[in-house]
Chain A
Amino acid sequence: MEDKVILLDLWSSSFAMRVKIALAEKGIEYDCKAENLFDKSPLLLEMNPTHKRVPVLIHNGKPICESLVIVEYIDEVWHDKSPLLSSDPYQRSEARFWADYVDKKIFGIGKRVWSSKGEDQEAAKKELIEYLKTMEEELGEKHFFGGDTIGFVDVALVPITSWFYTFETYGNFSIEAECPKIIAWAKRCLGKESVAKSLPHPHNIYAYALGLKKKFGSA
Chain B
Amino acid sequence: MSKGGEIVLLDCWVSPFCIRVKIALAEKGVEYETRAEEDLFGDKSDLLLTSNPIHKKVPVLLHNGKPLCESTIIVNYIDETWPSPPLLPTSTYNRAQARFWADFIDKKVFDAGHNIWASKGVVPETAKKDFIEILKQLEGALGEKDFFGGDSFGFLDIILIPLTSWFYTIEKFGGFEVKEVCPKISAWMNRCMERETVAKVLPDPEKVYEFAIMIRKMLGIE
Nearest chain B CB to A101 CB, angstrom units: 7
B54 touches A101 (CB 8 A): yes
B211 on interface, CB distance cutoff 8 Å: no
B104 touches A50 (CB 8 A): yes
Complex contacts, B58 vs chain A, CB 8 Å: none
B84 on interface, CB distance cutoff 8 Å: no
Complex contacts, B81 vs chain A, CB 8 Å: 89
Binding site for B on A (CB under 8 A): 50, 59, 62, 64-66, 68-70, 72-73, 76-77, 89-90, 92-93, 96-97, 100-101, 134
DSSP class of B's interface residues: helix, strand, loop or mixed? helix
Complex contacts, A73 vs chain B, CB 8 Å: 92-93, 95-96
Partner of A65 from B66, B77, B100 at Cβ < 8 Å: B100
Q: Given known contacts A72-B96, A72-B99, is B70 in contact with A100 (CB within 8 Å)?
A: yes
CA A93 to CA B78, docked complex, whole Å: 10
Nearest chain A CB to B53 CB, angstrom units: 10
Interface size of B in residues (CB-CB distance below 8 Å): 22
Complex contacts, B99 vs chain A, CB 8 Å: 66, 69, 72
DSSP class of A's interface residues: helix, strand, loop or mixed? helix
Closest to B96 in A: A73
Enumerate 20 A-B pairs (CB-CB under 8 Å) in ascending A order.
Answer: A64-B100, A65-B100, A69-B100, A69-B103, A70-B96, A72-B96, A73-B92, A73-B95, A76-B92, A76-B95, A92-B76, A92-B80, A93-B76, A93-B77, A96-B70, A96-B73, A96-B76, A97-B68, A100-B70, A100-B73
B74 on interface, CB distance cutoff 8 Å: yes
CA A68 to CA B70, docked complex, whole Å: 16
CA A62 to CA B91, docked complex, whole Å: 13
